[in-house]
Amino acid sequence: MWGLPGGKAREAGLDPGRRAGLPAGMDRPRPTVAELFLTYLKIGLVGFGGVNAWARRVLVEERRWVTEQEYAEVLGLGQVLPGPNALNVAVQLGERFRGGWGALAASTGLFGGPLVVLLGLAMLHDAYGEVPLVKAVLAGTAAAAAGMILGTAAKITEKLRPAWPILAVGIAALLGGAVLRLPLPWIVLGLAPFGILAAWWTDKARP
């Protein structure tokens, strides 16, 4: 009951790397500091519409450094910890793979590229921000990026196949954010006990 399909769940449970809290199993590569930097540079630069969906795509699907479940767990921790989520994820994964240098490489890669882009945009914005074509392109990109985030969430849910108590907590977070528009700290801190309870309960129910 790791929230993964049966066979994978047993693997995850037996994997000594998983037990030791290391994301890398024996078959999964452990990135170097340079790889962490370059990969996070890419995540930052392609990260339209927020980077969490992109980080998942690159880390789980392309590089296979972490599993779907591991990424979702690190992201969950990143939301409880104060500060930007994507930064918290980069620091934690960097630290697990390569200690302090890994954390530094991942986080500077994540912020370095986009900062340069933003610097250029900030200088151009006053001159071109009101051009109708630019606004139209941005509007179309924003619509696609929003759909991308929904598609990513659907994909994660499909792969993790949550047991119903876990699913219920997820739906509560969705409703709290999208319908009730509650402040995020309320949702995260308010639902954390229920999420933990659901995880504890499904963990115990495991045969």
Partner 1 sequence: MSEDSGVLGQLALGFLAISLIAVGGGIAVVPEMNRLVVDVHGWMSDARFAQLFALAQAAPGPNVLVVGLIGWHVGGLAGMLVATLAMTGPAGLLAFGFSRMRSRLAGARWLRVTERGMVPVAVGLIFSSGVILTQAAAVNWLALAVSVGSTIFVWRSNRSPLWVLAVGALIGAIFL
> What gap in Å lies between CA 23 and CA 75, rounded to an integer?
13
Nearest distance, CB of residue 32 and partner 1, angstroms: 18
27 is a site residue for partner 1 (CB under 8 A): no
Task: Between 35 and 107, name the residue whose CB sits nearer to partner 1.
Answer: 107
Total residues binding partner 1 (CB under 8 A): 109
Q: Does the protein bind partner 1 through residue 86 (CB under 8 A)? A: yes
- CA pair distance 129, 117, nearest whole angstrom: 15
Query: What does the alpha-carbon distance between residue 17 and residue 25 come to, in Å, rounded to a whole number?
Result: 5
Cα–Cα distance between 78 and 167 in angstroms, integer?
Answer: 20
Residues in the chain: 207
Query: Taking the complex as a whole, how short is the minimal distance between the CB of residue 26 and partner 1, in angstroms?
Result: 17
Could you say which of 128, 151, 205, 206 contacts partner 1 (CB under 8 A)? Answer: 151
95-97-98-102 Cα dihedral, nearest 10 degrees: -60
Q: Which of 14, 34, 119, 205 binds partner 1 (CB under 8 A)?
A: 119
Choosing from 24, 33, 51, 66, the residue that interacts with partner 1 (CB under 8 A) is 51
* Interaction of residue 96 with partner 1, rule CB under 8 A: yes
